[in-house]
């Protein structure tokens, strides 16, 4: 049975408006400006939805840039009551924060740890839920730990080994031809001399690898090797190499290296800037990602809401802003149960 969900014209327009907001925020090329002008001129509702999306995502700077890029759009700009509602809702959320039944949704911020890792020693670094941390290792390699992540780092004269116990990391490896850099996650090895890549142990215990620069070699770590011996030096073969702009999901039924665009990589790694970016992702997935940064749990009262496509950028862990956006953009309301769960249903 097909799992494709057909979006209505209004939903497609909202999704397109959110995509344009993201592109304007990142900076448009001349070709992009022309394409946006064409889309805005195609239907008066397009401009209205664009303005609403900019207000919901708090992208007032994008509106200013739009006015400069398209003077004719400024004449057509009319603030609708829904925009005033969004602004008023934001004020009420700030003034009445202590009165809300919602738990503390704040993002804990990030840390920067420059403690060197000594040779022939083991160090452990970890983050709590909602926390991020940047660690500079003894050789100059940089590791960014995402929320609820734990790593062990062992440096010897022969090897540089990082074991990912749980969570997600992004690594910028300092090149050292004499010592390969190995990330061990589960029974897999990701090995490089000098490159940048991300590794995540997903909720279903699969290993997701995204390479952003250079190349890495992947292999299997046997139970005997996991008892303390450093990983072997992997042989560089075409079938075990993942290059920049490629992704590999290890532990899946079909382990195949697939290409990822620069835009897709930016979305996947937006957590490094403390934000979560979604591009036509199912609401169920978006909320599961948000749950990684907070103790809040979401429950769908209306099951059909799970497939609703979400496009936008949120501050990681900012559940308040997410709930306001869901109400304004998708007519999704919420209640908070006695045990603190957020119950979602259609208006």
pLDDT per residue as tens digits for the range 276-297: 998 889 999 999 999 999 999 9
pLDDT per residue as tens digits for the range 3-24: 334 445 666 777 777 777 777 7
Q: How confident is the model at residue 50 (pLDDT cuts 50, 70, 90)?
A: confident
Q: In the chain, where does DSSP find H-type helix?
A: 9-26, 30-42, 44-56, 60-69, 71-76, 81-95, 262-268, 283-291, 319-330
pLDDT score of 91: 33
Rounded to whole angstroms, the Cα distance separating 10 from 182 reads 48
Say which residue, 208 or 263, is predicted with more confidence: 208
Q: Which of 17, 12, 19, 24 is nearest to 70 (CA)?
A: 24
Greatest extent of the chain over all pairs of C-alpha atoms, in Å: 71
Rounded to whole angstroms, the Cα distance separating 292 from 290 reads 5
Beta strands in the chain (DSSP E): 109-113, 121-126, 131-136, 142-145, 150-155, 160-166, 168-172, 181-185, 188-192, 196-201, 207-213, 215-220, 241-243, 246-250, 258-259, 275-282, 298-300, 309-315, 332-336, 342-346
- Across the chain, mean pLDDT equals 78
Note whether 143 and 123 are within 8 A (CB): no
| Distances from the Cα of 138 to the Cα of 117, 135, 198, angstroms | 5, 10, 20
Rounded to whole angstroms, the Cα distance separating 159 from 154 reads 8
Which domains does the chain show, CATH number per domain? 1-79 (no CATH), 109-265 (2.60.120.1440), 274-347 (3.55.50.30)
Q: How confident is the model at residue 77 (pLDDT cuts 50, 70, 90)?
A: very low
pLDDT per residue as tens digits for the range 216-243: 999 987 655 555 567 878 887 778 899 9
pLDDT per residue as tens digits for the range 109-159: 445 444 544 455 678 999 999 999 999 998 889 999 999 999 999 988 888
Note whether 319 and 294 are within 8 A (CB): yes
Look up the pTM and report it. 0.66
Instruction: Look up residue 342 and give its two tokens.
Output: 């957020």
> Phi, psi at residue 234, to the nearest 5°?
-80, 145
């Amino acid at each position: 049975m097909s799992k494709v969900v057909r979006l209505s014209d209004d939903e497609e327009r909202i999704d397109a408006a959110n995509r344009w907001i993201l592109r304007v925020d990142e900076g448009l090329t001349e070709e992009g400006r022309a394409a946006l002008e064409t889309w805005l001129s195609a239907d008066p509702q397009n401009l209205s939805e664009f303005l609403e999306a900019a207000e919901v995502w708090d992208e007032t700077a994008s509106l200013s840039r739009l006015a400069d890029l398209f003077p004719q759009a400024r004449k057509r700009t009319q603030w609708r009551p829904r925009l005033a509602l969004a602004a008023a809702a934001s004020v009420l959320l700030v003034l009445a924060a202590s009165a809300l039944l919602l738990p503390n949704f704040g993002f804990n911020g990030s840390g920067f740890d420059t403690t060197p890792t000594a040779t022939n020693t083991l160090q452990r670094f970890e983050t709590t839920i909602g926390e991020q941390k940047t660690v500079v290792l003894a050789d100059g390699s940089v590791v960014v730990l995402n929320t609820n992540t734990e790593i062990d780092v062992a440096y010897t004269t022969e090897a540089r080994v990082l074991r990912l116990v749980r969570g997600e990391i992004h690594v910028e490896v300092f090149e050292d031809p004499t010592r390969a850099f190995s990330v061990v996650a589960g029974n897999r090895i990701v090995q490089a001399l000098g490159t940048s890549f991300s590794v995540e142990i997903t909720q279903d215990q699969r290993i997701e690898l995204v390479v952003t620069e250079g190349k890495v070699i992947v292999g299997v770590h046997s139970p005997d090797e996991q008892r303390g011996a450093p990983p072997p030096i992997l042989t560089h073969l075409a079938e075990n190499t993942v290059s920049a702009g490629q992704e590999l999901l290890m532990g899946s039924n079909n382990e195949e290296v697939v290409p990822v665009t620069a835009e897709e990589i930016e979305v996947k790694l937006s957590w490094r800037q403390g934000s979560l970016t979604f591009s036509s992702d199912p609401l169920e997935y978006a909320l599961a990602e948000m749950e990684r940064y907070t103790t809040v749990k979401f429950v769908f009262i209306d099951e059909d809401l799970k497939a609703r496509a979400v496009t936008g950028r949120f501050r990681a862990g900012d559940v308040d802003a997410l709930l306001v956006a869901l109400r304004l953009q998708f007519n999704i309301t919420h209640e908070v149960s006695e045990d603190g769960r957020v119950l979602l249903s259609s208006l």
